[in-house]
Amino acid sequence: MVNIAVLGYGTVGSGVIEVLNLNGESISKRCGHDINVKYILDLRDFKGEPVEKLIVHDYNVIVNDPEIKIIVEVMGGVEPAYTFVKEAILKGKSVCTSNKELVAKHGAELLELSKAQKVNFLFEASVGGGIPIIRPLNQSLTADEIEEITGILNGTTNYILTKMSADNEGFDSALKEAQALGYAERNPEADVEGYDACRKIAILSSLAFGMQVDFEDIYTEGISQISDIDVLYAKAMGASIKLLATSRKVGNRVYAMVAPMLIKPTHPLFSVNGVFNGIFVRGNVIGDVMFYGSGAGKLPTASAVVADVVDAAKHVGTNIMTFWSSKKLELADAKTAPHRFFVRISDCDDNTRELINQVFGKIEEIKVNAREKDYAFLTEALSEAEYDEKADKIGKTLNRIRVMF
């Protein structure tokens, strides 16, 4: 029997208990041990609920109990999670977490500490909810040099964009519906401005390239500026707008970015719709692979956490090597990243049209019925800096979306 403690009895924490109760028998078989939840740390008492007898309010009870071999951290946020996790590892306990903020900020350090202590720090649930992506990157794609990881890593924004496209509606009304359905929070900033996806691509990039990618270094743009008119044009191009979190290695330079982008049906991420997530990986020998599934939700996320618990229980006393050094990876300047751009200007007069043609050179015009006054086009591949320079010369507000084709 392996004793574990769960820090935080919120959505994911209660999901972990539910999964262990529901599938306990097969989990024990796969694990070779029974998993016993000895404590749950929470500020609340949960009087009258079955978990009441497991609740403790003092972390010291948990971290000082030598019977506890594995700690599940599902509180979220950097503190006090970081202090708790570090202490646990130093006391020789493995930690499984769903906490992307913690992993993005302190992953490298906590992995090094775990290695020294011969325990494990596992975080499958921190990216892509239930989708197996951390373990595949760490253990299955070991023969490859990763050239690109591009993910739809945030279900809230993917739901909003899918809804905007399906019902030809604007961002605000799609957001309201997402909030009504519980897919978006009342303060949706972390999702819609791309901050959530940014932390996740920082984690994936660090694993893919084996060095610390700081999320603060990643250029991040959300979807709040995307309009129903953009969606019309996307459809006219046979394309779709997705919030993509991407990092690419070109020579020795790594570019990383979170931004809404246009993709076409030939891209494996095109058909990732609604609250689903998808992660596309290109390796130099494996070619293109894609992982798809529920990127959030109580049970899918708990499934990933419990799978980590099983792995930790199978590896008591052995560190599973993870290739993520604390050495900082200096990202290439995002301004030098080359893309095509979709550009759109409303009520475009003839002079502006001519100026655009002069400044942007070879373009591909896109027309949409009943939008005769617009001027909309695809540029050739330009760096961000080149695009900005050209856009400045036009002297009017241009809507632009990066293009991944």
Judged by CB, which is closer to a second copy: 195, or 292? 292
Judged by CB, which is closer to a second copy: 142, or 358? 142
Judged by CB, which is closer to a second copy: 43, or 143? 143
User: Residues 200, 242, 249, 390: which is the catalytic one?
Assistant: 200
Q: Is 144 exposed, middle or buried (0-12, 13-18, 19+ CB in 10 A)?
A: middle
Judged by CB, which is closer to a second copy: 260, or 293? 293
The answer to whether 185 is annotated as binding is yes
Judged by CB, which is closer to a second copy: 154, or 294? 294
Q: Are 149 and 246 in contact (CB under 8 A)?
A: yes
Judged by CB, which is closer to a second copy: 90, or 290? 290
The answer to whether 101 is annotated as binding is no
Give a three-class secondary structure readout of the chain. Answer: CEEEEEECCCHHHHHHHHHHHHHHHHHHHHHCCCEEEEEEECCCCCCCCHHHHHEECCHHHHHCCCCEEEEEECCCCCCCHHHHHHHHHHCCCEEEECCHHHHHHHHHHHHHHHHHHCCCEECHHHCCCCCCCHHHHHHHCCCCCEEEEEEECCHHHHHHHHHHHHHCCCHHHHHHHHHHCCCCCCCCHHHHCCHHHHHHHHHHHHHHHCCECCHHHCEECCCCCCCHHHHHHHHHCCCEEEEEEEEEEECCEEEEEEEEEEECCCCCCCCCCCCEEEEEEEECCCEEEEEEEECCCHHHHHHHHHHHHHHHHHCCCCCCCCCCCCCECCCCCHHHCEEEEEEEECCCCHHHHHHHHHHHCCCEECCCCCCCCCEEEECCCEEHHHHHHHHHHHCCCCEEEEECC
Q: At closest approach, how far in Å is the CB of 15 from a second copy? A: 8
Q: Is 191 exposed, middle or buried (0-12, 13-18, 19+ CB in 10 A)?
A: buried
Q: At closest approach, how far in Å is the CB of 398 from a second copy? A: 32
Q: At closest approach, how far in Å is the CB of 290 from a second copy? A: 4
Q: At closest approach, how far in Å is the CB of 351 from a second copy? A: 44
The answer to whether 76 is annotated as binding is no
Judged by CB, which is closer to a second copy: 307, or 343? 307
Q: At closest approach, how far in Å is the CB of 215 from a second copy? A: 23
* Binding site residues, a second copy, CB under 8 A: 18-19, 22-23, 26-27, 29-32, 124, 130-132, 135-136, 139-145, 210, 265, 268, 270-271, 283-294, 297, 299-300, 302-307, 309-311, 314, 318, 321, 323
How far is residue 301's CA from residue 12's CA, in Å, rounded to a whole number?
7
The answer to whether 12 is annotated as binding is yes
Q: At closest approach, how far in Å is the CB of 10 from a second copy? A: 17
200 is catalytic: yes
The answer to whether 9 is annotated as binding is yes
The answer to whether 13 is annotated as binding is yes
Q: At closest approach, how far in Å is the CB of 328 from a second copy? A: 17
Q: Are 101 and 75 in contact (CB under 8 A)?
A: no
Residues forming the annotated binding site for L-homoserine? 185
Residues forming the annotated binding site for NADPH? 100
Residues forming the annotated binding site? 7-14, 100, 185
Active site (catalytic) residues: 200
Residues forming the annotated binding site for NADP(+)? 7-14
